[in-house]
Amino acid sequence: MQTNISSPAHLDPQLPEATVGLGLRRALLNTLRDAPVGDFDFLEVAPENWIGIGGAHGEAMRLLAERYPLSCHGLSLSLGGSAPLDESFLEQVRGFLDRFNVPFYSEHLSYCSDDGHLYDLLPLPFTEEAVHHVAARIRRAQDILGRRLAVENVSYYAAAHQDMDELTFTNAVLREADCDLLLDVNNVYVNSVNHRFDPAVFLAGLEPERVVAMHVAGHYDEADDLIIDTHGASVKPVVWSLLGQAYDLFGVKPTLLERDFNFPSYDELVAELNTIRRLQRDADALVRVTVDG
């Protein structure tokens, strides 16, 4: 039996749609603290990196949370894993979300543990059994969190057993779990090159009402038929183009620029954020023309 989860009454169901964000990384704490208002609209944190953190880092995060809305993107829930779901951790996450009034929590459609943490996001087999398994765990997680969960499509390199393609698997999980999708546009492109499919067809096959937020990031071109999702480089033009296509299909959604290391100057990060804003404005303008036309 599916449980329909809505956000608590004191929370907005999601971030405002035409917003851009950055990941809150410790290496950027001082830079983000000193940033002019208006450069970005929200900050994304991995709750497991901040739950229980005190001292200077904890105080810096708290002060930023007073200035900017937070979204949360988990790293270690292992929704597709075989070990029991870590319900005590989920209770801690719920407390963190409530404490900082976080409107949005997402995790990866993958697994990352097997009798211990593997420190990587590993692909699931695309099978009916896996659909039922991960959907049940997502429903249970939503029950504990008391709010809807969004899952992110992940990049992968060595495919597990596949009775269906990634698009069919993703849609099946979203429907059976009755959860939302955090659409990582760069991951769609990475997988399309590495596993030979059309990224535009993948986007067009997603259910629009499930897409509630987006990620965009850089990658490394290892070869013509192999690219690596790194989060350590600038966004490529082909991915910007795909983000524009995603806005046309699903409407403008809160969009995070992911950068985890090899940080450029702050001005370069702001320039990429401004590219997101431009694409959002273009998509909004197209909608207005279509409606008025």
Tens digit of pLDDT at every position of the chain (293 positions): 344 444 433 334 467 889 999 999 999 999 999 999 999 999 999 999 999 999 999 999 999 999 999 999 999 899 999 899 999 999 999 999 999 999 899 999 998 756 555 556 788 999 999 999 999 999 999 999 999 999 999 999 988 889 999 999 999 999 999 999 999 999 999 999 999 999 999 999 999 999 999 999 999 999 999 999 999 999 999 999 999 999 999 999 999 999 999 999 999 999 999 999 999 999 988 776 665 55
pLDDT given for residue 14 in this prediction: 61
What proportions of the chain, in percent to the nearest 5, are helix, strand and coil? 45, 20, 40
**Nearest Cα residue to 230 out of 222, 275, 274:** 222
Burial (Cβ within 10 Å: 0-12, 13-18, ≥19) of residue 224: exposed
**Nearest Cα residue to 81 out of 118, 37, 36:** 118
Q: What 3-state class would DSSP assign to 244?
A: helix
CA distance 114 to 163: 23
Find out whether 259 and 269 touch, Cβ atoms under 8 Å. Answer: yes
- H-helix or E-strand containing 133? helix 128-145
Task: Round the CA-based radius of gyration of the chain to a whole number and report it.
Answer: 18
